[in-house]
A and B are shown apart, each in its own frame.
Chain A
């Protein structure tokens, strides 16, 4: 009975508009998750520059990519470390 009344009076959340919005949000996360090869290269170069301040890395096997599953998009980087710099501040 209570459910009937609240249906009569209209619940906001289950409306098809809200379903549409949520589906759009998810699909656009995926659609927008593309990066041009040019941008990806710039990103790699910048990453190498920053990380090299702290450690020596293997630039030739470095991998950076956008990865996605159903729920989210992530920037995944695999950066082989050749040598760590000495951490003076820590001593």
Chain B
């Protein structure tokens, strides 16, 4: 039996889809059999981030409403034969799917795949409830901003209420220069507030934009810092102990001097 992991955040635009694509691709690169499920009905994105938008025939709601077989709807990835995408419906109504159907679907997928990764829509409404219905565990993505952390806190509460305990946190879009200046909350600030386990930290990185432009997840790019962050996370998911990426900026001469005279 495989594992169903839902990627959530509460606040929109913090990096759920980017995370799903990179963790899924990264796990596939490690030889795992993976399926990515896009549950953002009406705002389908994961196909584009994966570069698979031209191959879609059927979607999630075709499957749950019996228009096609599950196997027919799965799109094979370009790079890995053990990686698949189940795209969201773009034109159908959100209410065309309910939590019970999602649960059944996940139970099917678990039999086939080592990892089923569910890209959750923003918000706490029906789309969220659908996305978490069949999940065994949850990842909460946040950025180091007040509004995103606040929404993450709310999501953690809702996950707990749905009996999804011990979610793992990803802090995305950290800007080391701003952290150093004291203008951005750092990892320990956020962990202090949310009090959950950390899965990883991802720097704010242009290579994410570039890889999204190309439809090739950054995790495949050896030169990408964000890609390195995702590779470490997939290793952690596989049960390895990997240190956090060092995002600190070395002290300048002036800063060393400040520390020396005890100003910091």
Q: Are B263 and A24 in contact (CB under 8 A)?
A: no
Q: B264 — which chain A residues lie within 8 A by C-beta?
A: 9-10, 12
Judged by a CB distance under 8 angstroms, whether A32 is at the interface is yes
Q: Give the CA-CA distance A44 to B182 in the complex, in Å.
A: 45
Taking the nearest CB of chain A, how far is it from the CB of B9, in angstroms?
Answer: 16
Number of interface residues of B (CB under 8 A): 19
Q: B146 — which chain A residues lie within 8 A by C-beta?
A: 20, 23-24, 27
Q: Are A18 and B193 in contact (CB under 8 A)?
A: no
Classify the interface of chain B: helix, strand, loop or mixed: helix
Judged by a CB distance under 8 angstroms, whether A16 is at the interface is yes
Q: Give the CA-CA distance A21 to B40 in the complex, in Å.
A: 31
Interface size class of chain A, counting residues whose CB lies under 8 Å from the partner chain: 10 to 19
Contacts A10-B258, A10-B263 given; does A17 touch B153 at CB 8 Å: no
Judged by a CB distance under 8 angstroms, whether B185 is at the interface is yes
Q: B149, B150, B182, B189 — which one has the most chain A CB atoms within 10 A of its CB? A: B182
Taking the nearest CB of chain B, how far is it from the CB of A32, in angstroms?
Answer: 7
| Extra 8 A-B pairs, beta carbons < 8 Å, given A15-B183, A17-B186 | A10-B263, A12-B264, A17-B184, A17-B185, A17-B189, A25-B193, A27-B150, A31-B154
Residues on A close to B: CB < 8 A? 6, 9-10, 12, 15-18, 20-21, 23-25, 27-28, 31-32
